[in-house]
């Protein structure tokens, strides 16, 4: 299979002038969202944050014409077509409720996790459906170039029957102060990327088993610092996600190696990906090596693109494509409830020391997952 069969750039909207209003002005907006949007020629026209000063700084850096005094002012603007919400997950549902009450925007790109519980995520989905607003979730790891290229190989049957897949992260993360109020370190903030990636590649597992322990370096109360999750699929495929945010005492003066590496093994082929996000600089391009039975060596795929910031443009683009084609978003919020259920199942498994079916999380919600 020649390299040109590999696809690492997701579809882009033909219409790039959708008027985007941005809620939030932190690192993820300044260094990822707006950088990638400008590279793709997208159209952020207004921004709001907790303080007007922070919003003004982001607007000046990224040439956004309008700075709003606060979230309400931006939400009240009937000219905004798409909301890009980039606030902590415990505050996201309130903004979605407010946008749905107004009913003026066409689409919302919400941060992951959509909420800190299945019930609240389900409420966000239901409200948007009732308001006729397309809701999508910023599961941006899907648009890392190596992850997207692997999905193209899977769709072409390159691996044959998938047998075993792993995502192995050994990286010290930059936890944010707002996380202390969530009670969660890794499962809901980082593991959700990797577990959603497994769903993106292979669909839904039938059960998971997870084990976790606190991270010695993280000061706020938590139980899910270092996490390992095993995913079992009906086909026999097994997946393993290792989220090691300790990575040894590398912050305390010990030499070490940080990385995020994934691997897909099938009956007919193999691929090994290296995601450059946790390196220095964080914009280090992602790469992939891959081979099929009969190859003499691993072939190398090295696009000049990285998870941070390039993948964030892909996450917004898939929502804009959905708006212009009147089709569901590629990261549809109702489908994303299954990623929330998978994360909740992993957290429950670690707490109760047993195998858990993600469906348990859906059935245990007040609506039984049928809202």
What span, in angstroms and rounded, lies between the C-alpha atoms of 95 and 98?
5
- How many domains would you assign to the chain? 2
pLDDT per position as a tens digit, 223-242: 999 999 999 999 999 999 99
Residue 128 lies in a domain: yes
Say yes or no to pLDDT of 93 above 50. yes
285 assigned to some structural domain: yes
Q: For the packed helices 310-325 and 145-155, what is the interaxial angle rounded to 10 degrees?
A: 50
Contact between 105 and 95 (Cβ < 8 Å): no
What span, in angstroms and rounded, lies between the C-alpha atoms of 270 and 113? 30
Residue partners of 365: CB distance under 8 A and separation at least 6: 118, 119, 122
Handedness of CA 31, 32, 37, 39 (dihedral sign): positive
- With beta carbons less than 8 A apart as the criterion, state whether 66 and 47 touch: yes
Predicted local confidence at residue 371, as pLDDT: 52
* CATH number reported for the structural domain that contains residue 297 in this entry: 3.30.360.10
Quote helix, strand, coil % in the chain, to nearest 5.
Answer: 40, 20, 40
| Token pair for 34 | 């707006």
pLDDT in tens, 344-361: 999 999 999 999 999 999
Quick check: 185 and 116 in contact, CB under 8 A? no
Query: 67 - beta bridge partners?
Result: 47
> What does pLDDT average to over the chain?
94
Q: 361, 324, 354, 316: which is closest to 111 by C-alpha?
A: 316
Q: Identify the pLDDT of residue 183.
A: 82
Q: Say if 346 falls within a structural domain.
A: no
Average pLDDT over every residue of 66-77: 97
Amino acid 71: pLDDT: 97
* DSSP classification of residue 29: I
Q: Enter the tokens of residue 204.
A: 């839904």
Q: Is residue 352 part of a domain?
A: no
Sorted by sequence, the CB contacts under 8 Å of residue 101 that are 6+ apart come out as none
Residue 342 lies in a domain: no
Is residue 339 assigned to a domain? no
Residues 367 and 32: their CA atoms lie apart, in Å, by: 36
Q: In what order do the strands lie in the sheet with 259-266?
A: 207-213, 226-232, 238-244, 162-170, 259-266, 269-275, 287-292, 299-301
If asked whether residues 127 and 210 sit together in one domain, one would say no
Domain that holds residue 103: 3-139+314-332
Residue 102 has pLDDT above 70, yes or no: yes
Q: For residue 46, list its beta bridge partners.
A: 21, 66
Taking the whole predicted model, whether its pTM rises above 0.85 is answered as yes
């Amino acid at each position: 299979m020649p390299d040109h069969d590999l696809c690492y750039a997701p579809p882009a909207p033909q219409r790039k002038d959708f008027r985007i209003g941005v809620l939030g002005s932190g690192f993820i907006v300044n260094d990822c969202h707006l950088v990638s949007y400008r590279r793709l020629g997208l159209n952020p026209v207004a921004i709001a944050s907790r303080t007007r000063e922070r919003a003004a700084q982001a607007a000046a850096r990224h040439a956004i014409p309008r700075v709003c005094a606060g979230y309400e002012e931006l939400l009240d603007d009937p000219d905004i077509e798409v909301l890009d919400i980039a606030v902590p997950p415990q505050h996201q549902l309130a903004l979605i409720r407010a946008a749905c009450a107004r009913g003026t925007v066409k689409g919302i790109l919400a941060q992951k996790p959509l909420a800190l519980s299945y019930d609240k995520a389900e409420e966000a989905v239901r409200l948007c459906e009732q308001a006729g607003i397309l809701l999508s979730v910023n599961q941006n790891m899907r648009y890392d170039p190596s992850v997207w290229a692997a999905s193209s190989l899977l769709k072409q049957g390159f691996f044959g029957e998938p047998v075993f897949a792993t995502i192995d992260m050994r990286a010290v993360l930059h936890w944010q102060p707002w996380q202390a109020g969530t009670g969660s370190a890794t499962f809901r903030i980082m593991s959700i990327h990797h577990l959603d990636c497994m769903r993106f590649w292979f669909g839904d597992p039938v059960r998971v088993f997870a084990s976790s322990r606190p991270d010695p370096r993280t000061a706020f109360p938590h139980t899910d610092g270092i996490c390992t999750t095993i995913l079992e699929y009906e086909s026999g495929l097994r997946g393993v996600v290792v989220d090691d945010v300790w990575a040894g005492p590398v912050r305390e003066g010990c030499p070490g190696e940080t990385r995020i590496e994934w691997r897909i093994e099938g009956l007919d082929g193999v691929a090994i990906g290296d995601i450059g996000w946790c390196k220095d600089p964080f914009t280090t391009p992602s790469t992939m090596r891959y081979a099929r039975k009969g190859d003499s060596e691993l072939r190398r795929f090295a696009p000049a693109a990285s998870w941070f910031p390039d993948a964030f443009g892909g996450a917004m683009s898939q929502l804009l494509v959905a708006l212009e084609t009147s089709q569901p978003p590629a990261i549809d919020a109702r489908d994303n409830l299954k990623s929330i259920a998978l994360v909740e199942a992993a957290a429950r498994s670690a707490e109760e020391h047993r195998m858990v079916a993600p469906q348990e999380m859906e059935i245990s919600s007040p609506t039984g997952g049928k809202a």
